[in-house]
Structure 1
Amino acid sequence: MDFSKIPQSLLDLLTLNEKLWLKYYLETRNKTEAAVRAFEIEDRTKASRIGEMMSRRKRVKRVLNYHLIENENMAEMKLKEALIEEIFEKGASNAPERQVRIKAIELLMKMKGILPTGKIKSKDKEESWKDSVEIRMDDASSDHST
């Protein structure tokens, strides 16, 4: 990982162990493997716990979030950073309600092209993306008598 692209203010917050774990995590994209390499741990169960613990630290999350969006333009970067915070920072002081998190996830998915935006134009007709998603709701009680 090239730490030169990450602001020094974020790096100053990290411990040496966190920096070492991050280096291997960004190379392997695997929390357990990063812990094995960074701390020379042979027990993969222990390494898994350590990797999970490291990834949950707020300082490490900030660097990971920055790394995820570093190549985006500034406006899009700020928006995605806010969306990621809305989605994942449930314990924040301004914790969003469930509906806000759902809308943030939906917007981020649309921005990444995972979820179609609004209307899809086909050759012959215009259709809503909702028409292409099949939703089934089964009623648990078939008897509606009162």
Structure 2
Amino acid sequence: MNASLLVALISPVVAVVIAVWGFQRASRADRLRAFFEVQQRYLDAEVRAGRRMLHREIAGRESHQMSELPPEVSSRIGYALAVMNSIAIACDGRYVDTDLVARSMGRSYAGAVVAARPYIDYVEQQRGFRPYPFAEQLAQKLLPQG
């Protein structure tokens, strides 16, 4: 086999291997960047306050008691759950590595969703649909790990 034929056959294979490797590396970097953005949103003061309220104001109550919540508490809790739902959507769409989420915030995330169950049930009764479905699904995946 002559050298020019060998180079002609091998160079496309090498180009494809380099392209795939480069794409995977860029994809990992993008997913890591997205994870840090998601983590920053999760750790934002307003979201932390909403999660804290979930544990203090909601956990252990019945869904019919949620109508007694002050509007500002409902608003903060709703915002925290909406952010958590968007994190779950990012995980579901594979924009963020779910393993990183599980290791860094999994226990906190799952605990907040479990604490929010009476509120979520109440909102479902009021609106006729279950809000934050992705957050609940991700919390179920994270519960056995945490």
Taking structure 2 as the reference length, the TM-score comes to 0.25
Taking structure 1 as the reference length, the TM-score comes to 0.25
Question: Could you say which structure has the greater relative contact order, defined with CA pairs below 8 angstroms and 6 or more residues apart?
Answer: 2
Choose between structure 1 and 2: higher strand proportion: 1
